[in-house]
A and B are shown apart, each in its own frame.
Chain A
Amino acid sequence: GQNIDQPTEMTATEGAIVQINCTYQTSGFNGLFWYQQHAGEAPTFLSYNVLDGLEEKGRFSSFLSRSKGYSYLLLKELQMKDSASYLCAPMTTDSWGKLQFGAGTQVVVTP
């Protein structure tokens, strides 16, 4: 199995930056996904990292350190619509195609 740890909740103001950390313990690591889930809706794909480093995609960036078992999702220029749960999901080679999701980090954006 996998251990996935991410904060339960984070609060930030509109226009600010928030960094959501995720640590994981897996064997045969094969990439990590981040998903966004608004309340009452299905998760939507945000990013995928398989190599070390930062992947930037507009206001959202995702970072991975394979050796440290660590990833973060960076949300810049926060908007009210970014209030949602953010799910970290590492994948392993022995569970190819299956994702184990963390419990999610609820981000609350305030005016």
Chain B
Amino acid sequence: SQTIHQWPATLVQPVGSPLSLECTVEGTSNPNLYWYRQAAGRGLQLLFYSVGIGQISSEVPQNLSASRPQDRQFILSSKKLLLSDSGFYLCAWSGWDRVVVETQYFGPGTRLLVL
């Protein structure tokens, strides 16, 4: 069965510091991968998605970036965090081995607080 991991689970960072969040998927090959952010009490905002290694599409211009160095690894980064980067960061995957291939399955999330 497929599983998706994210770490860290919680992070408190000062403004201006760098960021690296990691997401890995197990039990599937060539998944589509997604990064979302959810601000407190708000909806999900799609940040990045990837259909393959090294292929990243950005949905919202901002100070964040994403990379996919391996098939089942997706990384969200920032060089300098802003206060507005605080939120709940969710990684998701979808894949051809599911009945409905477009269904997205979410990881447990990383709660980021920028102070």
Contact (Cβ within 8 A) A45 B104: yes
Return chain A residues, CB-CB under 8 Å to B104.
Answer: 33, 45, 99
Return chain B residues, CB-CB under 8 Å to A87.
Answer: 43-44
For the complex, give the distance between the alpha carbons of A31 and B103 in Å. 10
Is B87 an interface position by the 8 A CB rule? no
Contact (Cβ within 8 A) B49 A43: no
CB within 8 Å of B: which A10-27 residues: none
Q: A103-B42, A103-B43 are in contact. Are A44 and B49 (CB under 8 A)?
A: no
| Residue of A87, A102, A104 with most chain B CB atoms under a 10 A cut-off | A104
Is B60 an interface position by the 8 A CB rule? no
Q: A97-B49, A97-B94, A98-B49 are in contact. Are A45 and B44 (CB under 8 A)?
A: no
Contact (Cβ within 8 A) B102 A97: yes
Contact (Cβ within 8 A) A100 B46: yes
What is the minimal beta-carbon distance from B84 to any residue of chain A, in angstroms?
18
Comparing B63-71, B74-82, B105-113, the segment that makes contact with chain A is B105-113
| B residues whose Cβ falls under 8 Å from a Cβ of A | 32, 34, 42-44, 46, 49, 51, 59, 90, 94, 100-109
